[in-house]
Every structure is written in structure tokens, then in C-alpha cells.
Amino acid sequence: MEYGRLGKTGLNISRIGLGCWNFGSSNPRWGKPGKVIEADAAVNIIHQAIDKGINFFDTANRYTGGESEEILGRAIRGHRDHDGGQSEKICYRRCANWQFCHNT
């Protein structure tokens, strides 16, 4: 696996990342499911990625109602013995007055 520095952080991040947008159940607490990969299979995919040297994971609080983040957290527990990163996007909806409102 090839790695590169993440800006001035000093972290060495794999040049290939794993997108986790479809990790979760077909019936999330909220949000619309897409083509989902259930938790056990997703954890297996994440572990395979780690074994291949991937240490960069992309997720967001909107992916399958937040389940993607929970699955990723469970999967990487115990595998944090090296540099790594998680790309996180927090989604907000704009209110009528153009102020940002969280989940309203």
C-alpha cells in the first residue's frame, strides 16, 4: 500500500480509502437506505481493508441513519496501532432563514 502525508498533521494515510456509505441495515432508524451491506459483512470488509493496509475510511452521520459510523467504530476497535484517518462529513439542513439547523 502506498501512503501519503495528510497536510501538516504528520499522519500517513493510505492512498486508497474505503467508502462506508452503504454499511448498515435495510431499515435504518432514519434516512433512506440505499444498497446496503449488513453489519457482519461490513465488518468483514473493513477488516480485509485493514489487512491490505488501508487506514483511511470515509463515512458521514447521514449514511444509513448513522449506522455506518457505528459499524466502522466497532470494526476498527483494536486495530488502531498505526496512523490512520477517518473522513467525516456532518450533514445539516438549511432552515428557511438560511441558518443551519441540525436534524430539524
Q: What is the pLDDT of residues 40-49, one digit of tens each?
A: 999 999 999 9
**More confident position, 103 or 85:** 85
Catalytic position from the list 63, 64, 68, 72 = 63
**More confident position, 65 or 2:** 2
Q: Cα separation of 15 and 35, whole Å?
A: 25
30: CB partners within 8 A, 6+ apart: 65, 66
* 17-62 residue pLDDT tens: 898 888 888 877 766 666 788 899 999 999 999 999 988 888 877 7
- pLDDT at res. 91: 45
Q: Can you tell me whether residue 9 is helix, strand or coil?
A: coil
Catalytic residue check, 63: yes
- pLDDT at res. 46: 93
Most confident range (mean pLDDT) of 14-18, 45-49, 95-99 is 45-49
Question: pLDDT grade, residue 82 (50/70/90)?
Answer: low
